[in-house]
Structure 1
Amino acid sequence: MAQPDESPDDRTGPIVEDLVLGSLIGYRLKRAYMRIQPEAQRVLAEDDLRVVSFSCLSIIADNPGIVQAELAQALQMERSNLVVIIDELEDRGLITRTKVPTDRRRYALGVTLRGHHLRDRAAQNIREAEDAVFGRLDEDDRATLIAALLRLEGRATA
């Protein structure tokens, strides 16, 4: 079996078969994620972001005025777990919180110009990391894969 720092091509032992696991979508998704996650973490760390904070920043940027409950639902997280992340993003001047006029207990979230710039740069860095890791996929393969994943989520494709 390959050591964690070896690539599959560096192995000298027998090839380990995964005939049953290899035919399972969830297993293949996990394996693909395991290939990109360390690179995504590395490039995000350059901007002092984590995957979860980048995800929050990105959803807020794409949905100005979103409230914490909607953000939690979009990211499939507990609302209480988002408090620290939202505080961190606000303290860094990346997002704003504004009281919702119709319900002063709720806050609408928005992204600052600095937050937009950081999100865009981080997204580009992740795309480049994905290109390095998943370089075997051409644009058609990527579009097909994204469309299939959206269907698995129950979302319509464009």
Structure 2
Amino acid sequence: MASLRKTDRRTEDEAHIEAPDLEEFIGYNLKRAYVIVQADFRRALGEDGFAPRVFSALSLVVQYPNVTQSGLARMLGIERSGLVAIVDELEGRGLIKRTNVPGDRRVQALVPTAKGKTSYVEARAVVRAHEDRLLSNLSTEEKATLLTLLGKIRSHED
């Protein structure tokens, strides 16, 4: 059973929950870390910045120009229907454009605009600084180990 430290404010109570049973689970710890990373990511990029999923999509379009929407959805591990809002946002901000794929009028490829490439480079620097700040208590070797271990977990992705 979780124990709570007595304080006058509920938010402080919630921040000091001890959950030894939960803390034994990798999933619980990954989720807690994810919440911290996402909150700091959003703070770092500001109100008008990219949401993490939009940044990820732009990153892949910049790295793989002419990727199809289906291909991008696969790379991101999301349903194609879930990608529509992301692509619409990127296109609405003038960061990518849709182009026809020669030989198949039903399929559209995504290419970054000059503004998209510049925005990506700028955002990437902010994201790198955000990660450096969050992981400053890890050594270079620990960061490499963390990425390796997370990659092993991700290898079970369908």
TM range (shorter): 0.7 to 0.9
**1:71-86 alignment runs, 5 A limit:** 71-86=72-87
Task: Map Cα deviations across residues 83-113 of structure 1 (whole Å, 9 max, x no partner).
Answer: 2221221122211211011211111111122
Q: Does structure 2 conserve the Cα–Cα contact (< 8 Å) formed by 1:66 and 1:108?
A: yes
CA distance in 2, matches of 1:110, 1:82: 15
TM-score by length of structure 1 reads 0.81
The aligned counterpart of 1:91 is 92
Aligned-partner SS, 2:40? helix
Code of the residue aligned with 2:20 in structure 1: it is L
Q: CA RMSD in A?
A: 2.5
Pairs aligned (count):
149
CA distance in 2, matches of 1:34, 1:121: 23
Task: Map Cα deviations across residues 35-80 of structure 1 (whole Å, 9 max, x no partner).
Answer: 1111101222355322221111111112221111111122222212
Code of the residue aligned with 1:95 in structure 2: it is I
CA distance in 2, matches of 1:59, 1:45: 21
Which ranges in structure 2 are unaligned for 5 or more consecutive residues?
Answer: none
Q: Does structure 2 conserve the Cα–Cα contact (< 8 Å) formed by 1:95 and 1:115?
A: yes
Code of the residue aligned with 1:143 in structure 2: it is A
Moved more, 38-47 or 132-141: 38-47
**1:1-158 alignment runs, 5 A limit:** 1=4, 16-45=17-46, 47-154=48-155
Aligned-partner SS, 2:149? helix
Which ranges in structure 1 are unaligned for 5 or more consecutive residues?
Answer: none
Q: Does structure 1 conserve the Cα–Cα contact (< 8 Å) formed by 2:65 and 2:111?
A: yes
Cα pair distance change 1:64/1:107, threshold 3 Å: same
**Bigger relative contact order, structure 1 or 2, given CA contacts below 8 A and separation 6+?**
1
Moved more, 141-150 or 15-24: 15-24
Cα pair distance change 1:5/1:127, threshold 3 Å: farther
